[in-house]
Amino acid sequence: MALKPLLAITMGDAAGIGPEIILKSIYHPPIARQCRFIIIGDYLIFKEMAQKLGLSLDWILIDKSPFSIKNKIGFWDIHNLKKIPAYGRVHKACGISAITSIKKAVELALNNEVAGIVTAPLNKEILKKAGSPHHGHTELLAELTHSRQFGMAFTGGGLKLILATIHEPLAKVPRLITRERVLESILLAHRAGQELGIPNPKIGVAGLNPHAGENGMFGDEEILSIIPAIQAAKKRKVMALGPIPPDTLFHRTLQGEFDFVVAMYHDQALIPLKTLDFYGGVNITIGLPIVRTSPDHGTAYNIAGQNKANPASMAEAILTAVKLARNRGLA
């Protein structure tokens, strides 16, 4: 019998809820039946969290490649943290540990030793304290995989979305909405839809302005950038329609009119998705040579270390990674 796909799961911020939701997910039978795991992080963190959750760790400790994992869970100890950090606080050491875990997971994925990676949440401030120039996982993963065209996509609540701009101040967004950026986002949405099992996804492209600009009355980004990008996508046989007023696009998508939405900025996409499915959203990085998913939430410092974290988003991220890996032929 063929082995189940092997996923690497990174620890994320050790002072957040990452280790807790990882443990709660990988021991959940419906998840465990779908895949095998290698956890990457500091073993002492997981040992302490397992005690809090009443779990006994029967893991294979790994420190070099190649390795073999069959029915048990593998653990790659990066030996970075020397003590348990205070939960719910920003620590430079946690940032260094998180980055080290991510680098090892990417290395394993690029070497085809794992079918994909799932990253637990990290705090953007720990990246800064650790000396990283990146705001989050997405940009760091793009650098590590030498990817130039990549995007942040999300699934949840019946929606599939991709962002034309990612973590940008709202005041900067209008000048970042260029024909090239919107076209790239449409093409990435098309690819994401296919990797999620939709052969020819129908893509609804949001406008930036109220009523999608109303023919220039409320802004000209639609005329100058978004419409030309949609026209260029159609020439590539991509089913893109719009620009569509954002206040109706998500409803129309839920009614089945569109398979994927291209949103112009972060909150335009994430407010409807998190309203519909706050606990089950999944973040997917599209455009990388590897599969990467993540829970669509942060480190939840306010409940870290208290056995209060809901693992639903992590569980969905794992299942989505399995689906993407299989559709890519990696598992």
Lowest-pLDDT choice from 32-36, 62-66, 228-232? 62-66
* Six-digit token string for 151: 């995007």
Does position 109 have pLDDT exceeding 50, yes or no?
yes
Burial of 180 (0-12, 13-18, 19+ CB in 10 A): exposed
DSSP assignment string, 253-278: HHTTS-SEEEESSHHHHHHHHHHH-T
Of 76, 159, 94, 145, the closest CA to residue 289 belongs to 145
DSSP assignment string, 81-131: -SSPPPTTS--HHHHHHHHHHHHHHHHHHHTTSSSEEEE----HHHHHHTT
**Cα distance between residue 330 and residue 322, in whole Å:** 9
Lowest-pLDDT choice from 16-20, 71-75, 313-317? 71-75
Q: What is the largest CA-CA distance in the chain?
A: 64
CATH number assigned to the domain with residue range 1-149+286-331, chosen from the 4 options 3.40.50.300, 3.40.50.1970, 3.40.50.11030, 3.40.718.10: 3.40.718.10
Mean pLDDT in residue range 158-186: 96
pLDDT at 56: 87
Q: What are the start and end residues of each CATH 3.40.718.10 domain in the chain?
A: 1-149+286-331, 158-276
pLDDT-based confidence at 1, cuts 50/70/90?
A: very low
Q: What is the pLDDT of residues 233-281, one digit of tens each?
A: 999 999 999 999 999 999 999 999 999 999 999 999 999 999 999 999 9
pLDDT at 2: 65
Q: What is the pTM of this model?
A: 0.94
Mean pLDDT in residue range 48-52: 95
**Cα distance between residue 104 and residue 146, in whole Å:** 15
Q: What is the pLDDT of residues 75-102, one digit of tens each?
A: 999 999 999 999 999 999 999 999 999 9
**Cα distance between residue 178 and residue 157, in whole Å:** 29
Share of the chain above pLDDT 90, in %: 87
Mean pLDDT rounded to a whole number for the chain? 95
**Cα distance between residue 45 and residue 37, in whole Å:** 17
**Cα distance between residue 126 and residue 135, in whole Å:** 10
CATH class for the domain made up of 158-276: alpha beta
Share of the chain above pLDDT 70, in %: 99
